[in-house]
Structure 1
Amino acid sequence: MTEVKQMETKKLNLAALKNEVSRFGYNDTKKVLLGEGYHLHVHPNFSDSRLDKAVLAYFKDIDDAHKAKISLASEGNGSAVMFLELIFEFTDITKVKDFKKKLEVMSLLHDTGYFAKIIAEFSKESIDKTTNKVNALAKEITRLGGLAKKQQEEFLKTLNK
């Protein structure tokens, strides 16, 4: 009979958590040259906590677009707005809160060719993680469609915090 050895373990604490997270490269940055003497620093690997912020900002943008009577789907901007939120969260570009200003920034980034160049710096794994998170949250919102209006509003309030 073979004796099974137990692995030695350490107590989990804040320092150990920071060490574990650092292994994923979430704090790694790349300097991206954009031309004409401009650059941005990009985090190619998305941490879940920061991705949650970007996804929730995206859903708030959808709500803001609806209130402003702007159809993101008809203009083909739905996924572009999600990518813009990723740019705001995972680069050092100045964040913009006003929705119409966000659309202006997005348009300018497209016109300069910087939008695609920045997105290309995000890892495939991070983009896949984003897609999965957005789809899961969209399904949850659809499921909540059967709830009373007040419950839906309470759920949306939690998204906007």
Structure 2
Amino acid sequence: MNDDELMALLGEAVADETAVSERRRTAARAAFTWRSVDAELAELLHDSALEAGAAVRSGPGGAEPRTLSFGHSGLTLEIEVDGEVLLGQVIGTGEAASASEPASVLLERPDADAQSAETDAGGFFRLEGVRSGTVRFVVEQGGWSLTTPWVTL
């Protein structure tokens, strides 16, 4: 099959409204229009699940909370996941740190509705009922944003 035939088949699949949900269609359009992904995507700075011995570590009542840290352009998103509770903090430097309005934090999933939270004055937020699976975070405040790569909780 050549490229033209493949594109024709993909076009037919997308045109069939019963084959592709509107949510997935919107996500696909966004992926194709995101031209500067490497410049805009936050870097995973730390994941406690990747530490040596993390698989055998345990504390009272089970595994220790998992911690993740993402950074981009002077912004850092710190996350701690303990069961179905997610605690986080948005930390900024320079212009982002001086913003007086709360940040909006969106936890997105490829197969479910997003969960959102607003940060308090210290940049802290909390999400409950967070189930395991593939997620990413989008943080927005004023004129800046941070989007994390997809990770599995």
Larger Rg: 1
Name the TM-score class by shorter chain. Answer: under 0.3
Higher helix content, 1 or 2: 1
TM-score norm. by structure 2 comes to 0.24
Higher strand content, 1 or 2: 2
TM-score norm. by structure 1 comes to 0.23
